[in-house]
Amino acid sequence: MKKIFEICLYLFFILTRTINILDLPIFNDEAFFLFAGNKILGDPGQNLFFNFSDGKEPLFFWVYSLVNIFPDPLLALRLISVFFGLLTFIYFRKITPNFFASVFFVFSPFLLFYQRLGMQESLLVFLLTAATYYAFKNKYLMGGLFAGLSLLTKTTAFAYLIPLFIFKFNPKTIIVTLGVYLPFFFGLQSVLGHNSAYAGAIPPSQMVTNFKMSLRWLWEYQGPIGLLGVFTPPVIIENLIAKIFFPRYFLFVVPGLIIAATYLINRLRPKVIKSAIFLVLLVPNIILSLQIITNVKSANLPYIEKWQYLEAWPAGYGIKETAGYLRSQNLKMIITEDIMITRYGLNYYYPELKVEPYKKQKEGVFVFKRSKELVNDLGFEKIYNSYDVSVYRSRPGT
C-alpha cells in the first residue's frame, strides 16, 4: 500500500508540472538559453564556455544544451526542469517522508511555477537539496560534489551554502566543493563582472526595501509559511547585498520552509487543530497552483512575476505570432533591438530568419517589442502587430 501511495504521489507531482506546460510563452532568458545551447551543441570545442560571454556559470548551459536534439527545444527545456523538480522531490522525501510535507511541496506555487520553466532555478534547487541531504548524512564526498555543482549553476548558491557549511561544518565537504568549483576559476572574472550589476555594497535604505519585497513575495507565493523565509540566512544575506532583486533568487529556501512548517504543525495538539491549520495553510497554495496550471495569464502571482513573465517586454507574448507573420511574408532578414526575447525568440520559431541588431539603420524591416519609441522619429510604417510586438518597414524616400 505504501508503494502505491508513493507512485501516486510522484505521478501527481509530474501531472502538476506538465499539464499546459507551454501555456506560458517563451521567456526572455529561455530564448537566450536555447540560442546558447544550440551553439554549444553545434560546436562544443569552440563554444563549450560560451556561458562566460553572458557572465553565467556553465553547468546549466551544458545540461540544457541537450534539448536541441529534440523536435521542440522549448518543450524539452521545460521538461528537463520538471525532471530536476522531480529529483528535488525525491531528495526532499528522503529528508522528510512526512505526508503533510509532501503535499505542501507538490502544491507549492513558488516551486511549481519555476519547475515549469526552462531556467537555472530547478537545477539549482535540486543540487542544493541533495547537498543538504548528504551534508546531514555526513557523506562529505557526495555533499561536496552537489555543493560544487550548485556553484557551477548559479552564484546565488553561495547564499545557501555559506550558512549550511557553518551549521554543518565539515572540512572534507568544503574541500570537495572547492575541488569541483576551482577548475572553472578562470571564468570567475566574467561571472563577477556580470554579478556586480546584481549584488554588492548597497545603502541601508535598499536593504530595507529588499526586506519588504522579499517579505511580500514570500507571502504572495507561500502565505504564512513563506513568512518564515524572511528569517532564513540565505534570504537575509540576499537582502543585504541585492542591487536587483527577483523572487527566484531565493527559491531554494522553500523546501526548508516546508520542512520547518511541517515540524511546527506536527507538534500541535489535538489532532483536529493540527488538521485544521494544515488545511488553512494549504488551500491558498492549491488555489494559486491551479491558477498557474489552468490559466497562468490570470494567476494571482506577485506583481514582479507578472511583469516579467506575462505583461512587460521580457514576456514572450506575440513572438510566435510575429515569427509566423514574417515567415508567411517570406521576410528572411529583420532588424531588432538588443534584447534576447526578440533576437533569439524569433529565431526559435523561425530558424531561417537572419536577425541583425538595431544600429540606427533607416532601411529594412524592423521588429520592436521594448523599444517601440524608436520608430517615432524614424518615420517607419507599421505593417503588423501582435500583443506588444510590432513589425515596421521603412517608408520609401526616408
Using DSSP, state whether 10 is helix, strand or coil: helix
**Distance of CA 293 to CAs 20, 109, 214, 282, Å?**
6, 10, 24, 16
In this prediction, residue 398 carries a pLDDT of 53
Percent of the chain with pLDDT over 70: 98
Kindly state the average pLDDT of the residues 185-192. 75
* 312-342: pLDDT as tens digits: 999 999 999 999 999 999 999 999 998 999 9
Kindly state the average pLDDT of the residues 181-207. 84
Euclidean distance between CA atoms 306 and 291, whole angstroms: 13
Q: Please name which of 62, 92, 75, 39 lies closest in space to residue 254, comparing C-alpha atoms.
A: 92
- Phi, psi dihedrals of residue 379, rounded to the nearest 5°: 70, 30
> Which own/partner contact pairs does 283-286 have at CB distance under 8 Å and 24+ positions apart?
284/223, 285/104, 285/107, 285/108, 285/109, 285/222, 285/223, 286/107
The angle subtended at Cα 44 by Cα 188 and Cα 193, nearest 5°, is: 20
Q: Flag whether pLDDT at 397 surpasses 60.
A: no
| Range with the poorest average pLDDT among 141-155, 343-357, 359-373 | 359-373
* 201-212: pLDDT as tens digits: 999 999 999 999
**Distance of CA 84 to CAs 141, 152, 308, 347, 369, Å?**
21, 16, 23, 27, 32
- Looking up cell 543540487 gives 127
* 4-23: pLDDT as tens digits: 878 889 999 999 999 999 99
